Amino acid sequence: MMKVFFKIFLILIFSFNPVLAETLSSALKRAYDSNPELNAERESISISEQELNISRSSYLPTITLEGSKSQEDTEKLTNRNGSDASFTDVEPEIKSITITQTLIDFGRGAEYAKSKIGIDLAKAKLLKKEQEILYKAADAYTGIIAAKEKFAINRSNVNLLERQVETDRIRLERGNISLSDVAQSESSLAGAKAKLIQAENDLLTSRLNYENVIGQLNNIETLDKSSINDLNLPLQLSEAIEISKKNNPGLIIAKLEYEQSKKDTTSARSDFAPTAKLSFDRSKTEDLSSTYDEREKDVLKATVTWPFFSGGKNYANLKKNKSAELQKSLLLENSTKKNDTDVASAWSSYQSNQSLLNSVRAQVDAAEIANEGIVAEYNSGSNRTTLEVIQSNSLLLNAQISLADSERNYILSQFNLLKSIGLLNSEYLKIR
């Protein structure tokens, strides 16, 4: 008997396969960890770090090793008086090491500073991409939740209308209603089936979008709508605008790009300035010539270069960079103004969607009460017509679908507000 219980226990243990719910937070984390667009943007930081190393290298000396060996065959050698001179073929071998250090270069400081700004710029662009991906993930998650609800609503409506058509046909046989009443019910059923097909297609599209942004979805039933909670948002519009001025990645990018453009102008000016280098060369030559066997030579050389004229290239490059600097300045000014407008628009959208959601909820409650009353009166044989029942069902259906859309729009308006102020990131959402 104990063996039987033990076998049953093992079967229950190994056959139990719990389905873990896919919460909004876990979906956002999946997108944050594995989205290819975001991973590609992360590589930009590594690229910027290497660009900084490249700029730093201009302050360090360069060391060059060089070696060569050649064979010299002399066919004829004559003295100045025309007589033949004796000669010996040689195979000179040269080994050298050259150390060069740049002493003065007025452009390398600007290039190094630009590369340092480039790292901050890459981080800001990564944050901007992170916000875009997290918003897409929230849009995909709420989209498939809403599509699933609307599919269920339309399927329930089809089932309801199928029962009503059957009921109306029975009532027609009894003479309680006319043929036109049955035709109205059948027409409503056909329309409901068409909407169900559309809802099914929308659900499929939403699932494909979900898997494209977030990842594989094995079971749509694992999506947990109850995990969608209100976000921690600013209480006032003025507070939201102040936060955005410090955190909005778009604004940060505009500022950093303007700073980089100023460094480009400084670097262009350095093309008119002198540069100075100091080099040391040590070489050793074996089998130098028929007269000399070996030679060791040290050369210390200081070189100063001052470009005098380069066909107007330097002047054109300076003008180009000045124009680019003015362009970035104007873009920064526009980004600053646009930032305030975007935050105000996101705040207004959030407020209106909140009010709309409350209104739609009241509309659904009223439509449910009205529909229950009209259907009960119709079934009891009162003067309620088939058209009134159909209209009541239609009003309730539209209200329920509006509620699904309104709930989604309200959540997305919160994410959009966080995005506009620069706080739609993994750290603020605590999904790392």
pLDDT score for 11: 47
Total domains in the chain come to: 1
* 232 within domain boundaries: yes
Which secondary structure element, helix H or strand E, spans residue 278, and what is its range?
strand 275-286
* 5 within domain boundaries: no
pLDDT score for 70: 76
Query: How many Å separate Cα 109 from the centre of its chain?
Result: 32
* 81 within domain boundaries: no
* 79 within domain boundaries: no
pLDDT score for 15: 42
**Long-range Cβ contacts of 54-59 (<8 Å, 24+ apart):** 54/115, 55/108, 55/111, 55/112, 55/114, 55/115, 56/112, 56/115, 58/102, 58/105, 58/108, 58/111, 58/112, 59/102, 59/108, 59/112
pLDDT score for 9: 45
Q: Which domain holds residue 128?
A: 28-71+90-417
pLDDT score for 249: 95
Distances (CA, A) of 144 to 24, 83, 147, 265, 325: 12, 101, 5, 50, 45
Kindly report the pTM of this predicted structure.
0.82
pLDDT score for 82: 66
Summarize pLDDT for 110-149 with one digit per residue, the tens. 999 999 999 999 999 999 999 999 999 999 999 999 999 9
Strand partners, 305: 275
* 326 within domain boundaries: yes
* 365 within domain boundaries: yes
* 16 within domain boundaries: no
CATH number of the domain bearing residue 238: 1.20.1600.10
pLDDT score for 168: 78
Q: Which residues of the chain have pLDDT under 50?
A: 1-2, 4-18
* 17 within domain boundaries: no
